[in-house]
Amino acid sequence: MHDKINNIQFKALTRQASNRTYRLIDMTDQSCGGTVIAINIDDHYFLATAAHVIPKDHKYKIVLRNKTYPSPPESFLSHKIDKKADVGLLEIPKEKKHLIDSWVTVSDICTNFDQYKENNIIIVGYPGQYIIQTPKIQIAEKDYLKFQIYNSLCYHSFTLPIGKWPSEGMLSQAVEGRDIFVDFDPDGDMFTSSPNNVDISPANSMQCPELEGMSGGGIWLLESENVSIWKPSVKLIGIQHSVKKDQWIRGTLIKCWLDLAL
């Protein structure tokens, strides 16, 4: 963990990232779906994710937290993807913005961090393995309800400097100025997070799940601001889209997503 960020501050920063991260369900193909990040820019409201998470002509819905709405918006103002960079977006109508608890704003985004050194980061997403099916609940003589619980996974690691990027095992060649790589150790610091709680478990007490469903999750930079009163912060620097187990997690820099959105 960052030597200037204590455990309480780390929990608070992780909660900030988790509260802006949601599970996206593909209503057309239940085997698909992934993670999205809620981003507000200039009065536009986006769900940012990986391109492969949101195929065209599919229908989607968002898993909400602490809400009584039976279903989130199922139609979007725009649906854009960049297959080469593997980033995409769904734009939510302004009148539906209240469905989302918390939004990333411009001040929460960082586009100029140093990729030639290791950077302390967390990745937040919703692996499919963490979807829990509850038992049926009887509400009438012949009527039953059943629920699914979606738990997020937070992974604490560091970015790989450009000089240490992998040269093989990728579907496409790495591109400086577009890609970001994170060291991935299945025995590393992983923990679950919910809106009101962060459960930080020792590395050896939590088994690494299969990561399908994490695609589209944010890569967040943990940093401390050099001001008179020290203040830790979490900044969105990338969107995760692929992984090579025991080696690395790959993502796209957030500035590439901004190019698509704006």
Helices (H), the chain: 7-18, 254-261
Cα-Cα end-to-end distance for the chain: 35
Measure the CA–CA gap between 38 and 44, rounded to whole angstroms: 11
Per-residue pLDDT of the chain (262 residues; tens, 9 = 90+): 444 566 777 778 888 899 999 999 888 988 788 999 999 999 999 999 999 999 988 888 888 865 533 445 557 889 999 999 999 999 999 988 988 889 999 999 999 999 999 999 999 999 876 566 656 666 667 665 556 667 788 899 999 999 999 988 888 999 999 999 999 998 888 877 654 444 444 433 456 667 788 999 999 999 755 544 556 689 999 999 999 988 999 999 999 999 999 8
Surface-to-core class of residue 149, CB atoms within 10 Å of its CB (0-12 exposed, 13-18 middle, 19+ buried): exposed
Number of domains in the chain: 1
User: Are 253 and 111 a contacting pair, CB within 8 Å?
Assistant: yes
* Residue 213 DSSP class: T
105 lies in some domain: yes
1 lies in some domain: no
- Domain of 238, in residue numbers: 7-261
Measure the CA–CA gap between 119 and 157, rounded to whole angstroms: 8
Closest CA to 213 of 14, 52, 98, 8: 52
**What is residue 82's three-state secondary structure?**
strand
pTM for this one?
0.86
User: Are 2 and 157 a contacting pair, CB within 8 Å?
Assistant: no
Token digits of residue 40: 């507000």
2 lies in some domain: no
Measure the CA–CA gap between 5 and 258, rounded to whole angstroms: 29
Measure the CA–CA gap between 252 and 122, rounded to whole angstroms: 15
Residues 6+ apart with CB under 8 A from 214: 34, 35, 123, 125, 126, 127, 153, 240, 243
pLDDT at 68: 39
pLDDT at 202: 41
21 lies in some domain: yes
Q: What is the CATH number of the domain that holds 208?
A: 2.40.10.120
pLDDT at 148: 65
